[in-house]
Structure 1
Amino acid sequence: MTTYKSTPLFGGALVCDLPEKFADVSQLRQVPDNQEVWIDKDGFTSIIFDITERVGGKGGGLKQDGQALTTHLEELVGDDADTVKVWNTTETQFSHLDENLPAYTCIATQTPRTGEKRSSTPDFTAIILTLLRLEKESTDILITINVPHIKGEYDEDEVDLALGKQGELIGDAVEYAAKIWESFKVKDWNLFNQV
């Protein structure tokens, strides 16, 4: 059973519940001002909060928001976009935010190119990407949970996303995401004027 703690982000301007076993990467190395990066002390999973400029023009709707989600995912994986498969995309509701704020989550996997495999290279990395659209603030908030699956560190028979089998690591990450959606609050909206 995962234990969570209320965690201030961006100097307390945002707050949400994160697993207690995750550590703030900024205590170890430099992290850009528009990011908060947390890593599992007992594994390889990371949770990244990214405040970015809003993608797309004014207005919204499924088509424009879907395109924004695709754009952010492509920027995230860079040149490896052709090695990514999106398994599903759903509308997402944050419990403590206006229900009219558009938010979407996709589950994708990124597989290393053949020839790039080394013993420490993951078989694949699952990506749970949540996009929160703040049009008034001209901001997109990205919450990315990266779940590397390294041979020997997970049960290969338990993971087959085509059959809906997520395995323990992805299952845990989905639980982390749901806890973030449930607990995420904006304490200081002025944050979006500064980043």
Structure 2
Amino acid sequence: MVAYKSVPLFGGAIVSDLPDHFADVSKLREVPDNQEVWIDKDGFTSIIFDITERVGGPGTGPEIDGRALTTHLEELVGGDIDTTKVWNTAETEFTKLDGKYPAYTLFATQSPKVGKSQDNSSPDFTAIFTTLIRLEKLNTDILITVNVPHIQGEYDEEDIDLELGKQGKLIGDAVEYSARIWDSFKIKDWDLFGHV
């Protein structure tokens, strides 16, 4: 069973539970001020909290917010969008956030382009769980992304068949991490987002 710890993010303005075996990347290298990046000390999975300017038109709803989620995914994978497959999207509830802030989660996989040089450390594919929280009045989107690279020899290929719903251990862990974040994520200082 995974042990979790409550972690202050963005100088304590936000708190969230993260797996105990994840380390703060900013202690190893520079991270942009609008991001918090945590990486698995025992593997390759990372969890990124990203505060960005809100994308899309005014208003909210599955169509508007869905387009925003797609825009963020395209920015995330860059030129590899044509090798990215979205498996599903769902409305997401954050236990400690007022329900007036819509949130959505997208599950996608991104495969390397055919012909790209493959060395042993290149992933066969990367599973991506991106959760988007929409703070319309603050003109802010919060993205929480769990990236799960699947590198040959580091996972059991027999355990994964996404077409049949077989996710394997690494993706199963990422689902658990995401659910714990949804349950524990709390904004303690709204001044983090500036004044309206």
TM-score calculated relative to the size of structure 2: 0.98
Which digits, 9 at most, give the CA deviation of each residue in 1:63-121, with x for residues without a partner?
10000000000000001100100001000000001112110001100000112222111
Compute the RMSD of aligned alpha carbons.
Answer: 0.8
Task: Tell me whether 41-50 or 96-105 shows the greater mean CA deviation.
Answer: 96-105
Q: Which runs of 4+ in 1 moved over 6 A?
A: none
Residue 3 of structure 1: aligned partner: 3
Match of 1:26 in 2: 26
> Structure 2 CA distance, aligned partners of 1:25 and 1:175?
21
Instruction: Determine the structure 1 residue equivalent to 2:191.
Output: 190
For structure 1, the residue ranges without an aligned partner over 5 or more in a row are: none
1:119 and 2:112 matched:
no
Q: Which TM-score applies when normalising by structure 1?
A: 0.98
Cα deviation, residue 60, structure 1: 1.1
Aligned ranges 1:82-161 → 2 under 5 Å = 82-116=82-116, 117-161=118-162
Say if 2:58 is the partner of 1:58: yes
Counterpart position of 1:174? 175
Q: Give how far 1:57 is off.
A: 1.9
How far apart, CA to CA, are the structure 2 residues paired with 1:6 and 1:131?
A: 21
Quote the offset at 1:173 in angstroms.
0.3
Q: Secondary structure at the match of 1:29?
A: coil
Identity, in percent, stands at 72
SS in structure 2 of the partner of residue 129 of structure 1 = strand
**C-alpha separation in 2, matches of 1:87 and 1:158:** 17
- The aligned amino acid for 2:171 is I
Query: 183-192 or 111-120: which moved more?
Result: 111-120
Distance across 1 between alignment mates of 2:100 and 2:159: 37
Q: How many residues matched? A: 194
Distance 1:48 1:85 in 2: 20
Rounded to whole Å, the distance in 2 between the matches of 1:46 and 1:140 is 20
C-alpha deviation, 1:151, in angstroms: 0.5
SS of residue paired to 1:123: strand
Deviations 1:106-143 (A, max 9, x none): 11000001122221110000000000000011000000
2:15 pairs with 1:15: yes
Unaligned runs of at least 5 residues, structure 2: none
How much has 1:58 moved relative to structure 2?
Answer: 1.5
What CA distance in whole angstroms lies between the structure 2 residues aligned with 1:55 and 1:31? 22
Q: Which letter does structure 1 place at the counterpart of 2:57? A: G
- Structure 2: distance between partners of 1:189 and 1:80: 35
